Amino acid sequence: MSDLNSESKNGPIALARALSSFEELWSPRIVTRVNDYDVRVAKVAGEHVWHAHDDTDEFFLVLDGELHIALREDGAERTVSLPRGSVFTVPKGVEHRPYAPVGASILVFEPTGTLSVGDRHDEIPDHVDATTGHALGA
């Protein structure tokens, strides 16, 4: 079996294989980089933390399951529901809290070095990994 890191340098990356290489929830793995952006995959279940990215949008693609994203905009809250295959971009500066009641697998696209809990956030619960992403196979 080839190493996932060498696979990413030499050819295509199977997202299912990348996702099967770890079990941790809310702990994204960097699949590849595009210019100055990370392409990250994560397994998610339950609630993340309310947070905002002050200087960047955050792109979500639901690979499996269903993801909900609560948003605080213009003094009001709303929730978007993303079934499998859906994409959504949270605009920079918008407070949001992703959650997946039954679990989901997601792909996130954001600038390299972006912290998973944003620039502003509530207290980080133990089940959420505050990270700029982990290497595959790490």
Q: What is the DSSP string of 7-20?
A: HHHHS---HHHHHH
pLDDT at 1: 35
Name all domains of the chain by residue range, CATH numbers in brackets. Answer: 4-135 (2.60.120.10)
pLDDT at 2: 42
- Tokens, residue 76: 């009001």
**Sign of the CA dihedral running 83, 121, 47, 130:** positive
Report pLDDT digits (tens) over 81-137. 999 999 999 999 999 999 999 999 999 999 999 999 999 898 999 999 999 999 987
Number of continuous H segments (helices) and E segments (strands) in the chain: 2, 9
For residues 124 and 138, give the distance between their C-alpha atoms in angstroms, rounded to a whole number.
22
Report pLDDT digits (tens) over 48-77. 999 999 999 999 999 999 999 999 999 999
pLDDT at 8: 52
Give the list of residues 6+ apart from residue 30 with CB closer than 8 angstroms, or none: 38, 39, 40, 133, 134, 135, 136
**Sign of the CA dihedral running 26, 133, 68, 94:** positive
For residues 117 and 114, give the distance between their C-alpha atoms in angstroms, rounded to a whole number.
9
Instruction: Check: pTM over 0.85? Answer yes or no.
Output: yes
For residues 138 and 76, give the distance between their C-alpha atoms in angstroms, rounded to a whole number.
40
Query: Residue 35: in which H helix or E strand, if any?
Result: none
